[in-house]
Chain A
Amino acid sequence: MKFFVRSSTKRCPRLGVLRCTEGKSEVEIETPVVLLHTQGGHIPHITHEVFKLVSKEPQILQIPLVSMHSFKDTMTYYNGTISEFIGSKNSLTCLTLHDPSNLTKQGHHTRDKIPIWTKRGKVLYDADMYMDVVESFKPNMYYLLSDGDTNKTSPQKRIAKAVEQTVVFNKQCLERHRKSEVLKKMFVMAPIAGGYCLKSREHCIDRALFIDANEIDGFLIDGLHNNGPEVEFLPFEEIKSILEFSVDKLPPEKLCSVQGCWSPLNVIKLVQCGIDMFDTSYCHILTERSAAMTFQIDTSDENNDYEINLRHHSLAEDFTPIIDGCECLACKKYTRAYIHHLLTVQELLAPVLIMIHNIHHYLRFFRKIRQCIANDTLDEFENFIAGRYENYQRKTTSSVEDKIISENIGDNI
């Protein structure tokens, strides 16, 4: 798999393509791209068979190691790739360490090891154990092991440790990579640690660039957050300088990725900085709170919506789809009232339908972003989404205030 960027200007929205040639078939995936976030090899709630009803285009599955750790031994006996094992042999896969939709527990560091938090508790991974998994899983893409356990509030000591560990991991993993025939073909990405400290970032990047440029196909700006739903509300201003600084230092011909459930507005802002790769963990956290994306992608539309919560009792008799005119299966065949019913009786089909819509909507959103880059209209689209988001925020805060006021009145009575 190779990455080709269409324009090599730094720190600007850019189009590119990931080209994967295997045997006779060639798959091309346009960037900025969104990887399909999975748990146990599946988009949460969506079987591969059902996903066919959402999209038939080639996709890359993001496989968090933490959700597949229980298969570590099994895979050493299995005679195939991780994509075959999870039942989706035609998908491309990208192995990563943590699950971006779940808050990663902080701390518990041990020298030269990284803790991951599986269902059965803490497991420590060192570079060798990690590379054993990469070798037996045989994904199409993977990240070198890193210490990304930093956020806005991390003290300097933690940041320094994270960089130090990441540099060591990168070196150890690459030694294994060079030796292995299986690993050679894979697309390798080096994580950049360093929290919110420019100096540490610089140091980490310098060390990463010290490696032969041909060996690394891309980078991950790691250590911005500890994953989970909070990432949605990270103010972009907080990460802006770190991000711009890092992207600026990295070679422009390489792929640059971030992970986490960024809000749609921040996704656009990250694209504006030159980020090429994201994931759909945002769809997952929305689905978990019974929310469906309704922000308009087609700017000609007058709809002021941004997001709806399908649990809301006002939808009990709303026999319209989530979005009128949306082409997804959930909108074409099912109503808000039906999904509301499924939610109130806690049926498994509720998150299935909401996820079908959210993934469909998010994939459309990324298509729109690429279009906007091509037409040079990404600024307008950013303003448009920003406006919708502000409206929505105003509406939700005012409805909360209304509620507080009415509750106070109730108290007085």
Chain B
Amino acid sequence: MWRFFDVQNTTNLTQLFMSAFRIFKQTSTKMTENAKPLVFNIIAECQTTKARTSKMILPHGEVDTPVFMPVGTQGTLKGMLPEQLEEMGLQIMLANTYHLGTRPGPKILEKAGGLHKFMNWNRNLLTDSGGFQMVSLLELAEITEEGVKFQSLNKTKGEVMLTPEHSIEIQNAIGADIIMQLDDVVQTTVPDKERIALSVESTNMHCRTTRWLDRALKVHKNPNTQNIFPIVQGTLHEDLRRISAKDLTQRVVNGYAIGGLSGGESKDEFWKIVHLCTDLLPKDKPRYLMGVGFAIDLVVCSALGVDMFDCVFPTRTARFGCALTMTGQLNLRKARFAKDFQPIDEDCTCNTCKRYTRAFLHGIVTELPVACHLLTEHNLAFQLRLMKSIRDSVCEQQFPAFVQKFVFDLYPDKNYPSWVKDALTAVNIKLL
């Protein structure tokens, strides 16, 4: 009988890790170059699906994958102290280049000795390129070969151009362990294939995103302490994704991101592209699926072979009074919780579940800042626990059973969404 909620049993797990490591040693990358800022050691691979678990070594410590990275947009994670996050076992978080580049700005970050020091976070950081925010926050963004031209929020500056070089320059000042190239994002809902093709396709041999990668790699100042990840583009067109992946895998990088998804496309289209991209990308390097963080998506995409995820959802929904559980979400604002003296989740070991009842949280959510801190802590603990369950079950060769039970618990009426069924069938899991 396997217990995927058992988090205490660490000795056994370590042994399991070790034996699994011996079995699958052949697939792992050897630590040959000392200067390499990313070592990706695969510990176990699922025999049924494409899921794998690894220990990734970055300049600010280890990261166990598959990993969920919460988003600390402006150099802070929604009221949580880094001391609390360390205590919870968080190994990596994300920060946003666009926001940090605006305030406090690269000069102050450089003077502070980088974002790790500025925000007192000694573990790993990942920054995005800033391009996504421009396209999503600023309607007036215009993308040219040179970069992304947009209207500055600061009216005095007028038009500002974010180039691949400038993005790396800011990310060098921030100093995150993993940084992203500026990519040419096209909304998945854009039907214009010619426009998308421009993002990826060969005009001069290879696509714009690839050309921008080359420009980024050229100006990168800290290749020994910061990893640039390129981003596979091509929206929902398989042929374009193939070209993009082929071009990018010819460059010397330590990991890859799958971009341009999670932008409003249907789930039926979404999973197929993820499935394709993990097939196209090399096995011995981490794959990062950007902007994905719902529990079901994490489980399915882990099965499809994704190693890293990020999303604002768990922390954002906490601020609206929503608590995550293995069987779905609880909206604690609902009147039915007023006399409910249970914790959010009996099985959760976070401080919020140890100390508080749903009734108490019901009375303070969306009214007091502490309520937001308490739900943020719980939701982060939930994401961490879910990822640990995924990793442990992969290690124990129980991943398919874990997925079956997880999906069944979430949909006890077996009314499974078709995309979940299809995606899992594609990696040989038949639902209960």
User: Inside 8 A of A252's CB, which chain B residues have their CB?
Assistant: none
Chain A residue nearest to B359 in the complex (CB): A74
> Interface size of B by Cβ–Cβ distance < 8 Å?
39
User: Inside 8 A of A329's CB, which chain B residues have their CB?
Assistant: 81, 83
Contact A333 B355 (CB under 8 A): no
Contact A70 B112 (CB under 8 A): no
Q: Please, how many angstroms separate the alpha-carbon atoms of A79 and B374 in the complex? A: 22
Interface contact tally, CB-CB below 8 A: 113
Cβ of B262 under 8 Å from chain A: no
Contact A47 B120 (CB under 8 A): no
Mask for A154-174, Cβ within 8 A of B = 1, else 0? 000000000000000000000
**Contacts A47-B373, A50-B84: A337 and B363 contacting too (C-beta < 8 A)?**
no
Cβ of A344 under 8 Å from chain B: yes
Cβ of B339 under 8 Å from chain A: yes
Cβ of B118 under 8 Å from chain A: yes
User: Inside 8 A of A316's CB, which chain B residues have their CB?
Assistant: 104, 108
User: Inside 8 A of A45's CB, which chain B residues have their CB?
Assistant: 79, 369-370, 373
Contact A345 B339 (CB under 8 A): no
> Interface size of A by Cβ–Cβ distance < 8 Å?
42
Chain B residue nearest to A88 in the complex (CB): B355
Contact A335 B112 (CB under 8 A): yes
Mask for B359-390, Cβ within 8 A of A = 1, else 0? 11001100111111110010000000000000
**Contacts A40-B368, A316-B108: A74 and B76 contacting too (C-beta < 8 A)?**
no
Q: Please, how many angstroms separate the alpha-carbon atoms of A395 and B118 in the complex? A: 30
Cβ of A236 under 8 Å from chain B: no
CB distance from B323 to the nearest CB of A (A): 15
Q: Please, how many angstroms separate the alpha-carbon atoms of A45 and B356 in the complex? A: 16
**Contacts A334-B120, A338-B118, A351-B369: A50 and B360 contacting too (C-beta < 8 A)?**
no
Mask for B103-127, Cβ within 8 A of A = 1, else 0? 1100010011000001110000000
Chain A residue nearest to B111 in the complex (CB): A317
Contact A48 B104 (CB under 8 A): no
**Contacts A316-B104, A337-B112: A348 and B369 contacting too (C-beta < 8 A)?**
yes
**Contacts A337-B112, A348-B373: A87 and B103 contacting too (C-beta < 8 A)?**
no
User: Inside 8 A of A344's CB, which chain B residues have their CB?
Assistant: 103-104
Q: Please, how many angstroms separate the alpha-carbon atoms of A238 and B369 in the complex? A: 36
Q: Please, how many angstroms separate the alpha-carbon atoms of A59 and B181 in the complex? A: 51
Chain B residue nearest to A345 in the complex (CB): B74
CB distance from A131 to the nearest CB of B (A): 21
Cβ of A245 under 8 Å from chain B: no
Contact A349 B120 (CB under 8 A): no
Cβ of A73 under 8 Å from chain B: yes
Cβ of B75 under 8 Å from chain A: yes
Q: Please, how many angstroms separate the alpha-carbon atoms of A335 and B115 in the complex? A: 12
Contact B112 A87 (CB under 8 A): no
Contact A40 B74 (CB under 8 A): no
Q: Please, how many angstroms separate the alpha-carbon atoms of A351 and B372 in the complex? A: 13
The SS class assigned to the B binding surface is helix
Contact B374 A47 (CB under 8 A): yes
Q: Please, how many angstroms separate the alpha-carbon atoms of A338 and B76 in the complex? A: 10
Contact A74 B339 (CB under 8 A): yes
Contact B111 A349 (CB under 8 A): no
Contact B355 A77 (CB under 8 A): no
Cβ of B78 under 8 Å from chain A: yes
Contact B341 A78 (CB under 8 A): yes
Cβ of B426 under 8 Å from chain A: no
Cβ of B99 under 8 Å from chain A: yes
Cβ of B357 under 8 Å from chain A: yes
**Contacts A77-B339, A85-B360, A347-B74: A337 and B369 contacting too (C-beta < 8 A)?**
no
CB distance from A128 to the nearest CB of B (A): 23
User: Inside 8 A of A372's CB, which chain B residues have their CB?
Assistant: none
Mask for A49-85, Cβ within 8 A of B = 1, else 0? 1100100000000000000001101100111000001
Cβ of B351 under 8 Å from chain A: yes
User: Inside 8 A of A41's CB, which chain B residues have their CB?
Assistant: 360, 364
User: Inside 8 A of B7's CB, which chain A residues have their CB?
Assistant: none
Contact A338 B360 (CB under 8 A): no
Contact B99 A345 (CB under 8 A): yes
Task: Please list 12 pairs of residues, one from A and one from B, whose beta carbons are closer than 8 Å in the complex, sorted by A's number.
Answer: A45-B373, A47-B370, A71-B363, A74-B339, A77-B339, A317-B108, A338-B118, A341-B75, A342-B74, A342-B76, A348-B76, A348-B372
Q: Which 4 A-B pairs have the closest CB atoms?
A: A348-B79, A87-B355, A349-B76, A42-B370
Binding site for B on A (CB under 8 A): 39-42, 44-50, 53, 70-71, 73-74, 77-79, 85-88, 119, 316-317, 319, 329, 333-335, 337-338, 341-342, 344-345, 347-349, 351-352
